[in-house]
Structure formats: C-alpha cells, structure tokens
Amino acid sequence: MSNDIVLETRGLTKHYGGVQALNDANFILKKGEHVAIMGDNGAGKSTFVRQITGVEQRTSGDVIFDGQPVNFTGPIDAREAGIETVFQTLALADHLDVPDNLFLGREKTKLDWLGPFRLLDYKSMRQDTLDALERTGVKIPNIRNTIERMSGGQRQCVAIARTASFASKLTIMDEPTAALGVQETAQVENIIRTLKEQGEPLILVSHNMRQVMDLVDRIIVFRRGRIVANLRKEETDGQDIVAYITGAKTGAEYEGAA
C-alpha cells in the first residue's frame, strides 16, 4: 500500500512570523498520478511547493518522499533525491545553449582528476539532450542556439525537458504556462501528457481551469493556507472547483478547517 505513495505530507505547516501561510496540510501523491494544486493568490499553493522542494524550511510537520522522511536543506538537496521543479521564474542561463542548460551543475565530464578544470563531454551531453527532447516531444529548431534567442514557449520547454532528462521520481511545475501564448501553452501541455503516458508523477500548480480539467487526475484546493478540497476530476467540474476556491463550499473531511 505505502509502496505506491510517492509523496506524503503530514501536518505540514509554515509560519512567516505571525502569518500562517500554510496550516496542517495533509497530502498524498501516488505513483503515476498527476495532481493539480489550485487556489486564489496567497492561498498557500506556492508556500506548499516551497516546503516540499526545500526552497524554504517548514515550521512543523513531516514530508515523506519515496517512503523516507526527508528534510531538504535546499533545492539541490531535493533534486538529488529526485524531485525536479520547474519554477515560475525560469532557472535558465540566457547566454548558454540547450545542452549547457540541461546539464548545468551536473555536467558530464572527462579527465575528472583535473578538478574544476575537468573537461566537458560535449558530444555525450548533446546526444543525451536530443534523446531527452525526443522523449518529451519538445521541438526546438537548433539546440546550439542560446536561450536568449528563443521564444517564451521554447524556453519553458527547455526548462521542462531538463526535469525530464534526468531520472526524476517527481516533477513539480509552478504555473508553467502563466506567461505563454496559446500555441506555446499547447506545446507545454503536450509535454505534460507525454509525462503522464510515461507514468511520471506530477504536481501542477495552475490557475487555468481548462488546463487542469484537461490534464490531471485529481485537484487539491487551497484556501487561506489550508487544504479545503480533494477532488477527483470525474466527480467535479469547473463551477464546483470555483466554489471551493472562493470559499462557498468546503470539502466534508475538511469541515471547520477554514
């Protein structure tokens, strides 16, 4: 039973001084599952993500990842454990090309005894990049182009391909299409579908109702720092979700929470 749980949080809480940004969040993500996190601005979505990815340290509660209680001291820690995050602000180096960005901080190298001056294995990184792009269905005209010469959609695709090019156990995307046009959004959504087909679990933070209903299995609604609903996609609709987001409704098991 616990074997197919990828991520679980128990009583996850985060206070910023006197502000309770996140309160007693109990959350479960199963293998291969795509879950959306929704809620109004300041509802605690991003705070929740930041506690899981180690960007911030939680006030109290437990995070169990891959069967182990974890205490990430930073985003690098979380990534090494297998949580890949596509941040709202793209973490890409504009002057570098696609393989450079995919492998930034974890370059394939030769002659490792040279320490910081060890050689980069460009050939192998390029091949892996092509493989990763093919796997995720990302189309980029020329991978040797620097990021600064790419459209917003292409950049986002590179950021997502980066998470997919390493054997990650969980992908988290924080509003991946917030700044994109219609066509570019479609491209990113296609990548998310590809991840679903490959059984990669995903947490998607999004404001886009259509996108959420299109892509995920389950929707978690946050309101004022608390989880107020846990809805299966088949058992809900847009209006229902909006009711939970605005506070018109609260899930039965979360009564008295907010």
Stretch 27-86 residues interacting with another protein (CB under 8 A): 75-76, 79-80
Q: How far is CA 9 from the centre of its chain?
A: 16
The two tokens of residue 75 are 């985003």
Work out how close the CB of 114 gets to another protein at its nearest, in angstroms, rounded to a whole number: 7
If we measure between CA atoms, which residue out of 178, 176, 180, 148 comes closest to residue 162?
Answer: 176
In sequence order, the 6+-apart residues with CB closer than 8 A to the CB of 185 are: 153, 177, 211
User: Per CB under 8 A, does 114 bind another protein?
Assistant: yes
Q: Does 183 bind another protein (CB under 8 A)?
A: no
Distance in Å, CB of 6 to another protein, minimum: 22
Name 62's bridge partners: 10
Instruction: Report in angstroms how near the CB of residue 125 gets to another protein at its nearest.
Output: 10
Check residue 116 and report its DSSP letter: G
To another protein, the closest distance from the beta carbon of 46 in angstroms equals 15
Partner residues linked to 8 by β-bridges: 28, 64
Contacts of 182 (CB under 8 A, 6+ apart): none
Question: Of 134 and 237, which CB lies nearer to another protein in the complex structure?
Answer: 134
Least distance (Å) between residue 215 CB and another protein: 22
Nearest CA among 24, 33, 32 for reference residue 51: 24
> Tokens representing 253?
């098991």
**Region of 20-28, 138-146, 202-210, 211-219 interacting with another protein (CB under 8 A):** 138-146
Task: For residue 90, state whether it binds another protein (rule: CB under 8 A).
Answer: yes
Task: Check residue 242 for interaction with another protein (CB under 8 A).
Answer: no
Q: Which is nearer to another protein, 195 or 241 (CB)?
A: 195
Size of the site for another protein (CB under 8 A): 40
Q: Which amino acid is at 62?
A: D
**Cβ 13 vs Cβ 23: under 8 Å:** yes
Does 94 interact with another protein (rule: CB under 8 A)?
yes
Helix (H, G, I), strand (E, B) or coil at 84: strand
For another protein, the binding residues (CB under 8 A) are: 75-76, 79-80, 87, 89-96, 100, 104-107, 109, 114, 116-120, 122, 126-127, 130-131, 133-134, 139-144, 148-149
